[in-house]
Amino acid sequence: MHPVVKLIAQRLALGMLLLLAASALIFVGTQILPGDVAQSILGQSATPQSLANLRAEMGLNEPALSRYFSWLFNAVQGDLGVALSNGQDIASSMGKRLSNTLFLAICAAIVAVPLAIILGLIAVRYQGRWPDRVISTVTLATVSVPEFLLGYIAMFFLSVQFRIFPSLATVYDGMTLLERLNAIALPVIVLVLVVLGHMMRMTRAAILNVMQSAYVETAELKGLRKFTIIARHALPNAIAPVVNVVMLNLAYLVVGVVVVEVVFVYPGMGQYLVDHVSKRDVPVVQACGLVFAAVYIGLNLVADIVSILSNPRLRHPK
């Protein structure tokens, strides 16, 4: 078997095992949460008999191991179950929410990825000088500030003080693309600020590492401009670690939007998860956790595969 095919197969198998382990952790975590949906539905004044009857009706009295394998088997087939709090199909309810979250993450990535690469190139070009220091300081500061605080700061200045963007990211069917982009402008800005610093600093470090290579010195001796050397010779050879960090941050944009969605009341997966955690709706929490885990593991698998394919020693073994 070709080494590339073998490595990709190993990564895919490892990804499936990680997803299986994540599903087990999600199930165990939801089982040890205090309270249950029956208590939440009937209230604190419910009698023990009524609680027992409702738990039996909802299948909460079955053994945990049996419920786990039943849930996992159904999830593999695309059946995520029914929400205990309202009786709605989870997969149908989650579809629109997931598309909203992906739209928000894609918009943030479209801005953040090119900006991070450009700022990384500028920082390398002016290494040790004031542009490098300013870019590194500002991006490090934005990474250090919590998302909710960045959200409230952006809301105060860009919505309350200057009234540039709406404070709440309300989206609904029938909106035009421009209206939707205007509505999500603030959460996109916050997400860009959160991931920009990490991607920029990793891009800078990867390019600086490549700049020590002999072929870069040869290009310098030929009299090529420094920015040309960085963009045309150093960046393509530093693409593997850059892709890894980009994919890691893309995974964060999808999985880590819970706080941002709650701050701006955005109807995405994060808001959906928080709403049903408060209701002790275990099937919804499990489904959201499984989707988040699948997205995170999937994007990291893509990063691993791209790194493998970008390695010429693996593509052309002796």
Q: What is the pLDDT of residue 36?
A: 64
pLDDT band for position 183 (cuts 50, 70, 90): very high
Across 14-18, 51-55, 168-172, least confident range: 51-55
Q: What is the pLDDT of residue 119?
A: 92
Say if residues 84 and 58 touch (Cβ distance below 8 Å): yes
Say if residues 82 and 235 touch (Cβ distance below 8 Å): no
Mean pLDDT, rounded, for 35-49? 70
Q: What is the pLDDT of residue 311?
A: 64
Residue 19 in this model has a pLDDT that exceeds 90: yes
Measured CA to CA, the distance from residue 272 to residue 98 in angstroms comes to 9
Mean pLDDT, rounded, for 17-37? 84
Residue 98 in this model has a pLDDT that exceeds 60: yes
Around Cβ 34, how many Cβ atoms within 10 Å? Answer: 6
Longest dimension (CA), the chain: 86
Q: What is the pLDDT of residue 37?
A: 63
**Residue range 240-256, pLDDT digits in tens:** 778 888 888 888 888 87
pLDDT band for position 217 (cuts 50, 70, 90): confident
The CATH architecture that domain 94-280 belongs to is Orthogonal Bundle (1.10)
The predicted model scores a pTM of 0.83
In the chain, the percentage of residues whose pLDDT exceeds 70 is 93
CA-based torsion, 217, 218, 219, 225: positive or negative: positive
**Residue range 59-88, pLDDT digits in tens:** 777 777 888 888 889 888 888 888 877 778
Residue 201 in this model has a pLDDT that exceeds 60: yes
Residue 318 in this model has a pLDDT that exceeds 60: no
Residue 316 in this model has a pLDDT that exceeds 70: no
For residues 161 and 1, which has the higher predicted lDDT (pLDDT)?
161
* DSSP letter for each residue of 186-218: HHHHHHHHHHHHHHHHHHHHHHHHHTTSHHHHH
pLDDT band for position 130 (cuts 50, 70, 90): very high
For residues 54 and 315, which has the higher predicted lDDT (pLDDT)?
54
**Residue range 273-293, pLDDT digits in tens:** 888 887 777 888 889 999 999
Q: What is the pLDDT of residue 290?
A: 92
pLDDT band for position 16 (cuts 50, 70, 90): very high
Cross-strand pairs, 89: 82
Mean pLDDT, rounded, for 286-303? 89
Residue 5 in this model has a pLDDT that exceeds 90: no
pLDDT band for position 7 (cuts 50, 70, 90): confident
Around Cβ 237, how many Cβ atoms within 10 Å? Answer: 16
Mean pLDDT, rounded, for 213-228? 81
Helix (H) or strand (E) holding 164: none
Around Cβ 228, how many Cβ atoms within 10 Å? Answer: 10
